[in-house]
Amino acid sequence: MDSRGDGYCGRMDTHTSEQLEAVQNVVDRVTSWQDGAPEGTVADELRKGLDEAGVSLDDGQVAALASAIEDRHGAIDASEVLAR
């Protein structure tokens, strides 16, 4: 959760290092199986993982991560993607 206590943060630079680590873990997990996943599955799995980790990202941030995962087919740096 962020300093407001509601779990919602707009920009990635407002997340704690623990939250960034949780987001990166979710991204790594989704990246590991995403090849051949139906469209929309990557974003859905990101949301599920983020919910489990207690970290909220807005729809644009989830879409950016999903797009990076689907396009790159390799290691994704969540902080880098979300800083754009």
User: Which tens digit of pLDDT belongs to each residue from 13-72?
Assistant: 577 889 999 999 999 999 887 777 777 899 999 999 999 999 999 999 999 999 998 888
Q: Domain tally for the chain?
A: 1
What does the alpha-carbon distance between residue 51 and residue 46 come to, in Å, rounded to a whole number? 8
pLDDT at 7: 44
74 in any annotated domain: yes
3 in any annotated domain: no
What does the alpha-carbon distance between residue 81 and residue 48 come to, in Å, rounded to a whole number? 19
Long-range contacts of 2-9 (CB under 8 A, 24+ apart): 6/56, 7/54, 7/55, 7/56, 8/56, 8/58, 9/55, 9/56, 9/57
7 in any annotated domain: no
pLDDT at 1: 37
57 in any annotated domain: yes
pLDDT at 48: 96
70 in any annotated domain: yes
> Domain range spanning residue 61?
12-82
